Structure 1
């Protein structure tokens, strides 16, 4: 019981950090756009934990916290003028660029967090819980389903213009090359690989660094500044 209370307190802690960021950052800041998306996901996970919606609430909460901590560590690194992981650098570097749309900011953050952080968070959670990645697969899938549902909402809320005009919008073509479901599947494969390599720390570190670099490259592409389309709007900067 004491451990469950500690994990619940940890979830509350990361939620408090995200809410504080939401209150402190300007609405149009690229990190603020992603933070609102991620706050909504974390609140949904928290509600599902509270209502018994996960097979193992303790495992779900541990994964949720370890996952969130990696994003918050990147925020702290940028705020302290230290280098965040490569996957996060494009978002922090371009967070105020006027040519980047809110949807791009949101999905670049999702790309960094799913493409890189999620795999490492699974390994972190396994070490905390003393289990194997396979023991967390149900919780991983449940969280992934919430993320996919939220991505659909984000696209609906932040995609500019009427449907008939989206075909001509370069944003439509840029984002059509990225899929959260594919990123989630790749994260699970990467987590299993990192766990299998845990006895070879040098190789595991190299694998993680190359994953970080590749995800950062994809994030930079997602944040390509775009001209305004005939739709003429950026979409709302919130979800």
Structure 2
């Protein structure tokens, strides 16, 4: 029972840290936009852990906490503006740099945050979890899929909270094009493939590091496109 209490405490701590971040940022700050939707999903993960939703609660919690830590390590440094831009992973850098740009819409901030977190952080979190638990990525596949289903709720939450109304989002609107150019499902599939590749390369640290660096840069490039300032 001790480890069950530790699992719940781990997720509760993550939730508390996200709430503190939300209180420290203006509502329209780009990181604040992503933080709100991610907080909602993390709270849902906590409820489902308590409700026995996951086959392996310990593995699911380990994955969820390590996944969140990847985001929190960036966000908490930004909260106090203590670190230079160079310390930010390439996947998060476009969002950090444009988080207060008046020409970037809330939906763009939200999608860019999801893209950075799933496209880059999730793969590394799977590897972190495997090392911590002494298992293989295949042993976490069920938990990965279950967390993935909750991530779908994140996308739905975004559509409810930050999607422009139908009168504002027309077919010719550039934002419509950006939304259609990104897929949550494809991002999840790519993250799983990247995690398996990184695990296979664990005995070749130089090559694994190069792969992770290229992954980071590729996701960052996509985010620069997603965060293109648009006419109001």
Question: Normalised by the size of structure 2, how large is the TM-score?
Answer: 0.94
The superposition leaves residues 104-160 of structure 1 with CA deviations (integer Å, 9 ceiling, x where unpaired) of 000100000000000000000111111110111011001111111220231243221
Q: What are the ranges of 5 or more consecutive residues in structure 2 without an aligned counterpart?
A: none
Aligned to 2:57: 57
Match of 1:194 in 2: 198
Tell me, in whole angstroms, the C-alpha distance in 1 between the residues paired with 2:202 and 2:168.
Answer: 50
Q: Match for 1:138 among 138, 142, 166? A: 142
Instruction: Determine helix, strand or coil for the equivalent of 2:17.
Output: helix
Whether 1:30 aligns to 2:34 is no
* Paired position in structure 1 for 2:39: 39
What is residue 231 of structure 1 aligned with on the other side?
none
1:77 deviates by 3.8
CA contact (8 A) 1:90 1:216 kept: yes
Rounded Cα–Cα distance in structure 1 between residues aligned with 2:68 and 2:172? 36
Answer whether contact 2:15 2:39 (CA < 8 A) is retained: yes
Which segments of 5 or more consecutive residues in structure 1 lack a partner in the other structure? Answer: 229-239
Q: Which residue of 2 aligns with 1:11?
A: 11
- Partner Cα distance (1:162, 1:111) in 2: 24
Report how far residue 165 of structure 1 moved.
4.7
- Alignment of 1:81 with 2:83, yes or no, is yes
How many matched pairs?
Answer: 228
Q: Is the 8 A contact 2:7 2:58 kept in 1?
A: yes
Partner of 1:232: none
Q: Compare 99-108 and 151-160 and name the one that shifted more.
A: 151-160
Alpha-carbon separation, structure 2, partners of 1:202 and 1:2: 38
The 1:164–1:99 alpha-carbon spacing in structure 2 relative to 1, beyond 3 Å, is closer
Q: Does 1:151 align with 2:155?
A: yes
- In the alignment, is the contact (CA less than 8 A) between 2:38 and 2:154 conserved in 1? no
1:91 maps to which of 90, 95, 101: 95
Rounded Cα–Cα distance in structure 2 between residues aligned with 1:62 and 1:196: 21
- 1:102 aligned residue: 106
Distance apart, 1:9 and its partner CA: 1.6
Q: Structure 1-normalised TM-score?
A: 0.92
Q: 1-side partners of 2:150 and 2:169: how far apart?
A: 29
> Is 1:175 the equivalent of 2:202?
no
